[in-house]
């Protein structure tokens, strides 16, 4: 009984509530005692008008929602929620401190005299009010359980409109010891030349939301954890990544990187950007990258690498078109495609076609 109580106690979140002024946050950021990481949350998704209205709200004395920080092993605080609010005010106070252009206010509806002003051109009283205005910060202490910290970040952000599912994964992975290594692997492979070229039909807006990084994770989940797929893509990817971060499964970073790079080298050299897309009646590649096609082709190339290596690109492309046009493939990618049976079916159809076999 006592052991159970002790175990539950160890998993409690230990937090400290602090009121920081924005001036203090700026100084802490300059001294590198608070870390803001724009590389895994897009720094300014807010428009100039949204940022300006936040400054207007502060000057009007309206309460600002709290921010959340996590204490790392060195005692440095890392911002995990409230990036838009914090970075907007810091940009206004000292744009050079966060390497952004000067913020000129625009779109203020109540204090209209603010429009067109910068921090240097507003009156002294307003400058001081912004710098001295408090914001409540909840600090998650470093002694807390890693899994609880990880789950907390997910719950803080899941359902919000600011972060995509992959951005939440990227951020939450940093809550776990060793998670940065996995996060950096995903980032690095998403910039691999062959991968980037073969997935170039991803829209820029999707890449902005880290869809390319999600495809890297999807590749690993497909190769290593296909049978855990239960129909919900986000839950499947979350579960697979968590099994790696919490060391429930073996994941050899070096071996997986080699497998990824050699697979996409072959895909790009054989099929270019036609690997994961539909074809029109004239046999021309059309439209965006289709995730179900991505799964089928990647799994086939990994399974039959040596066979596919010896097939001419023109022959392989012709076979791929036939695979995508087959009734069996269409049945496995249409309505209700997110089942493990249909996942296996569409992989099997593409494998057979690429090898020159019947998929009957």
pLDDT digits (tens, 9 = 90+) for 45-87: 688 999 999 999 999 999 888 888 888 777 888 887 788 889 8
Range scoring the smallest mean pLDDT among 112-121, 132-141, 149-158, 245-254: 149-158
What's the average model confidence in pLDDT over 155-181?
69
For residue 166, what pLDDT is reported? 80
Average pLDDT, the chain: 87
Range scoring the smallest mean pLDDT among 152-156, 263-267, 318-322: 152-156
155 pLDDT higher than 70 = no
d(CA 74, CA 99): 25
167 pLDDT higher than 80 = no
d(CA 281, CA 176): 49
Phi, psi of 332 (to 5 degrees): -90, 0
For residue 7, what pLDDT is reported? 45
% the chain with pLDDT above 90: 61
Q: Is the separation of the CB atoms in 192 and 259 below 8 Å? A: no
* pLDDT tens digits along 309-346: 999 999 999 999 999 999 999 999 977 778 999 999 99
139 pLDDT higher than 90 = no
- 3-state SS class at 210: coil
Domain residue limits, the chain: 2-159, 179-354
d(CA 305, CA 291): 20
Q: Which of these, 192, 66, 239, lies nearest to 138 by C-alpha position?
A: 66
What's the average model confidence in pLDDT over 15-19?
87
For residue 5, what pLDDT is reported? 36
For residue 186, what pLDDT is reported? 94
* pLDDT tens digits along 290-316: 999 999 999 999 999 999 999 999 999
Q: Is the separation of the CB atoms in 250 and 225 below 8 Å? A: no
User: What's the first-to-final CA gap in the chain, in angstroms?
Assistant: 59
What's the average model confidence in pLDDT over 98-125?
94
| 10 — pLDDT class (breaks 50, 70, 90) | very low
d(CA 222, CA 6): 38
What's the average model confidence in pLDDT over 112-132?
96
% the chain with pLDDT above 70: 86
Q: Is the separation of the CB atoms in 58 and 130 below 8 Å? A: yes
* pLDDT tens digits along 27-51: 999 999 998 765 444 445 688 999 9
| 158 — pLDDT class (breaks 50, 70, 90) | low
| 144 — pLDDT class (breaks 50, 70, 90) | low
Q: 215 or 209, which is more confident?
A: 215
Q: Locate the DSSP E strands across 130-213.
A: 134-140
For the whole model, what pTM was predicted? 0.70
Q: 337 or 263, which is more confident?
A: 263
Range scoring the smallest mean pLDDT among 44-48, 99-103, 228-232: 44-48
Cβ-based neighbours of 132, under 8 Å, separated by 6 or more? 21, 22, 23
What's the average model confidence in pLDDT over 205-227?
93
| 161 — pLDDT class (breaks 50, 70, 90) | very low
Q: Tokens at residue 38, please? A: 């724009």
Range scoring the smallest mean pLDDT among 4-13, 144-153, 223-232: 4-13
């Amino acid at each position: 009984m006592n052991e159970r109580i002790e175990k539950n106690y160890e998993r409690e979140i230990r937090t400290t509530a602090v009121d920081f002024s924005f001036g203090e946050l700026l100084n802490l950021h300059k001294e590198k005692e608070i870390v803001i990481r724009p590389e895994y949350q897009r720094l300014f998704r807010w428009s100039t008008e949204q940022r300006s209205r936040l400054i207007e709200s502060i000057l009007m004395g309206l309460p600002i929602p709290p921010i959340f920080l996590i204490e790392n092993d060195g005692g440095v605080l890392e911002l995990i929620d409230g990036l838009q609010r914090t970075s907007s005010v810091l940009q206004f106070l000292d744009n050079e401190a966060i390497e952004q252009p000067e913020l000129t206010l625009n779109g203020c509806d109540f204090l209209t005299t603010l429009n067109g002003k910068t921090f240097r051109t507003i009156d002294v009283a307003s400058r001081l009010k912004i710098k001295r205005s408090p914001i409540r910060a909840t600090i998650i202490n470093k002694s807390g359980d890693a899994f609880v910290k990880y789950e907390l970040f997910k719950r803080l952000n899941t359902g919000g409109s600011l972060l995509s599912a992959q951005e939440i994964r990227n951020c939450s992975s940093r809550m776990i010891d060793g998670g940065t290594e996995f996060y950096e692997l995903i980032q690095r492979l998403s910039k691999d030349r062959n991968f980037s070229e073969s997935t170039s039909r991803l829209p820029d807006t999707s890449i902005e939301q880290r869809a390319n990084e999600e495809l890297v994770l999807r590749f690993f989940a497909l190769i290593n954890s296909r049978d855990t797929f239960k129909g919900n893509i986000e839950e499947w990817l979350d579960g697979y990544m968590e099994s790696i971060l919490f060391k429930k499964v073996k994941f050899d970073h070096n071996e997986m990187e080699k497998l990824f790079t050699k697979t996409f080298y072959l895909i790009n050299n054989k099929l270019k950007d036609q690997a994961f897309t539909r074809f029109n009646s004239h046999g021309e590649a059309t439209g965006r990258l289709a995730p179900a096609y991505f799964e089928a082709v990647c799994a086939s190339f990994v399974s039959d690498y040596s066979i596919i290596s010896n097939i001419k690109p023109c022959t392989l492309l012709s076979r791929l078109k036939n695979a995508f046009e087959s009734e069996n493939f269409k049945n496995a990618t249409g309505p209700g495609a997110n089942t493990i049976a249909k996942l296996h079916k569409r992989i099997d159809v593409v494998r057979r076609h690429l090898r020159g076999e019947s998929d009957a």
